[in-house]
Amino acid sequence: MKLVILDRDGVINRDSATFIKNPNEWIPIPGSLEAIALLNQHGYRVAVATNQSGIARGYFDMATLNAIHDKMHKALAQVGGRIDAVFYCPHAADAHCACRKPNTGMLEEISRRFNIELTKVPGVGDALRDLQAFAKAGCQPYLVRTGKGEETYNLSDVPENTIVVADLAAAVKDIIAGDR
């Protein structure tokens, strides 16, 4: 089985410093949904691993998070794409949980659920914590320059094997090209 793991905010949809708090604020980045559909067409399963501390902070509840993800799934279906599973961490950073990226708890759960070793599995993110979690889990980190990607690109502690691309569409082209 071929698998790709994506962060959500800043990779699939526009990010917001004030959180994506309702379905109306979930706006896909141009080309991202088509890129996921292209992965599906090439036999990839797609999982999302996303920190959602807005739940712990009281900005939105589980029903709202589910509504946001429902909008994402429906938008993907309209372009022939799908996300096979969404994993999220609802905790704030001060909870020191195992699931919040840069920790690898969500990625370990993805590995168990999909019954796959994560070695070399592409992991696409826009924030340093995404890249750190992917690298610790053995994934191949991809940094997109959308969302927080530009500021992340300029940090000195980006994992050294990180592949830097413009956006999710460019990451998908590279992933598929490496498949040949």
Whole-angstrom distance, CA of residue 169 vs CA of residue 167: 5
Residue 172 lies in a domain: no
Residue 12 lies in a domain: yes
pLDDT in tens, the chain (180 residues): 999 999 999 999 999 999 999 999 999 999 999 999 999 999 999 999 999 999 999 999 999 999 999 999 999 999 999 999 999 999 998 999 999 999 999 999 999 999 999 999 999 999 999 999 999 999 999 999 999 999 999 999 999 999 999 999 999 999 999 875
pTM for the structure as a whole:
0.97
Domain count, the chain: 1
Helical packing angle, 105-114 and 128-137, nearest 10°: 50
Residue 135 φ/ψ, nearest 5 degrees: -65, -45
Q: Which domain holds residue 13?
A: 6-121
Is residue 7 annotated as part of the catalytic site, yes or no? yes
Residue 60 lies in a domain: yes
**CATH at 47:** 3.40.50.1000
Residue 164 lies in a domain: no
Is residue 61 annotated as part of the catalytic site, yes or no? no
Residue 163 lies in a domain: no
Residue 166 lies in a domain: no
